[in-house]
Amino acid sequence: MREVRPFVEARPESERARALESARQQRWTRRFLILGEVAAAYAKADASEFPTLLRLDEVDKFGAAIEDALLSPLATGKIYVERLAEGFVGCANSDVLPIVISTSNDSRHELSQPFRDRHLHTYFATPCLAKELEILQARCPEIKAANLSQALKLLDAIRSVAGLSHYPSVRTGIQLARAFERDSITEITERNVSIYFTYFAKNRRDAEYLKKQLPYLLSCVGTFHPQIDGWLMERDTEWAKHWGKQRGLIDIFPDEQFSAAPEDLSSFDDPTNVFQNDLSFASGAM
């Protein structure tokens, strides 16, 4: 009410009492209520021609108090506000309630059963390497095959190391791929790999443990990976030529075939089909 007093005092003395009382009454109306994202989504749904979409991200980090506050709008579309003249904010018509998408990593807080009951549940599995390659290429459209190959082979090798407290996510892959693209990293060495430890080693224990695994990580990164490099060869002529020269595949895939994607790379799924005596195809490097 302090903000109103200068305007009230500017009025004639005979009108001040009535103006002040009017201001006291209006302060509890919808006109002076500032809505947050959730309340605004429900309020807008009532007047919107199209369905309103509300995304609640990482709800496992909300905590019990926020979860409980969301139960009413999720069930009825209404948020009751104490002393508000209208009584509630939200959507009175249950046919036009917002579409609410809640996401959770299940990493910090176990969601309550009432909160779960107000949702339909599904989950997204960790993407396979082929799908992750598509994601990385979509998020880094200008990245070169060499940068992308080095980044994902390094992450794939780290994920195969047992005993880490945190393993690289798809988000980490995007960050690392962008860093490799920015720094033009086409070859991982013992000297430069430590620079990028901050992307995937999230604590001191993991960093020290991974440093002991450097020979294994470097061998994986420098080895032909049937899924990663095979996927890139199908889409990048230069990368196909690179591995053709490295592995002597020019005899199998003549130069004229590199003008388009190789017709059949299925043999790379089983390395022994190509090079039975090539030790760089050892299963430990996959």
Q: What is the pLDDT of residues 84-135, one digit of tens each?
A: 777 788 887 878 889 999 999 887 778 899 999 999 999 888 899 999 999 9
Domain assignment of residue 238, yes or no: yes
Q: Based on the domain organization, do 155 and 245 belong to the same domain? A: yes
Burial 90-114 (b: 16+ CB within 10 A, else e): bbeeeebbbebebebeeeebebeee
**Amino acid 188: pLDDT:** 87
Q: Based on the domain organization, do 73 and 195 belong to the same domain? A: no
Q: Based on the domain organization, do 110 and 196 belong to the same domain? A: no
Amino acid sitting at position 281: F
Distance, in Å, from the CA atom of 235 to the CA atom of 137, rounded to the nearest integer, reads 11
Distance, in Å, from the CA atom of 111 to the CA atom of 148, rounded to the nearest integer, reads 37
* pTM confidence score: 0.64
Domain that holds residue 133: 129-285
**Amino acid 258: pLDDT:** 41
**Amino acid 124: pLDDT:** 84
Q: What are the residue ranges in the chain where pLDDT is below 50?
A: 250-286
Amino acid sitting at position 220: C
Domain assignment of residue 16, yes or no: no
DSSP state letters, 6-65: HHHHTS-HHHHHHHHHHHHHHTTSGGGPPP-HHHHHHHHHHH-SS--EEEE--GGGT-HH
**DSSP for residue 224:** -
Q: Based on the domain organization, do 135 and 101 belong to the same domain? A: no
CA torsion sign for 250, 252, 256, 258 is: negative
Question: Residue 52 in contact with residue 45, Cβ under 8 Å?
Answer: yes
Distance, in Å, from the CA atom of 71 to the CA atom of 56, rounded to the nearest integer, reads 13
Q: Residue 195: how many CB atoms within 10 A of its CB?
A: 11
Distance, in Å, from the CA atom of 97 to the CA atom of 69, rounded to the nearest integer, reads 17
Q: Based on the domain organization, do 61 and 94 belong to the same domain? A: yes
Domain assignment of residue 151, yes or no: yes
Tally of residues, the chain: 286
Domain assignment of residue 10, yes or no: no
Q: Residue 33: how many CB atoms within 10 A of its CB?
A: 15
Q: Based on the domain organization, do 113 and 138 belong to the same domain? A: no
Q: Is 102 helix (H, G, I), strand (E, B) or coil?
A: strand
**Amino acid 107: pLDDT:** 77
Q: Is 200 helix (H, G, I), strand (E, B) or coil?
A: helix
Domain assignment of residue 7, yes or no: no
**Amino acid 277: pLDDT:** 34
Domain assignment of residue 177, yes or no: yes
Q: In sequence order, which residues have a C-beta less than 8 Å from that of residue 140 and are 6 or more positions away?
A: 148, 174, 177, 178, 181
